[in-house]
Amino acid sequence: MTTQPLCRVRARCWTTCRLTLMFPDSYESERDHPVLPMPAYYEVVRVDWHLAEEEPFIDLWLRERKSSIVRHLRFWRPSEVVIDRGFNGFNSGFRIKDISERGMEVRVAVTTFEQDPAIRFVAARVECVP
């Protein structure tokens, strides 16, 4: 009698379930965060992740396509950070969602609706840095 290894199936299921919990499709039903109108028209030109601070943060510099305008956003207390293999800053489906109505500590979701490599995470809050 031949048995198939169960660990492979369990690992694949665990990964699928984990990704679903971290980045649920339901973010699409959340309203866009007002910090950056039309985020899909921007590309990520720089990412700084400050881990050793008292309150960790991620800084994103975003350049508007077809323009030289650069916006600097700071995301406080990021978690569930994922940078996909092959991510090069181009993020056609880039979204910043306001998830504050969920009543959780994290109130902002950085996500994408495209299948291209992207950066995704949730954070406690976001602000523009002058």
pLDDT in tens, 47-77: 999 998 899 999 999 999 888 899 999 999 9
- Residue 79: what residue type? S
d(CA 15, CA 13): 5
Question: Are 74 and 61 in contact, with CB atoms under 8 Å apart?
Answer: no
């092959």: which residue's tokens?
86
26 pLDDT more than 80: no
pLDDT value of residue 126: 95
56: which 2 tokens? 């960790």
Phi and psi torsions of 43, nearest 5°: -120, 150
Q: How far is CA 13 from the centre of its chain?
A: 22
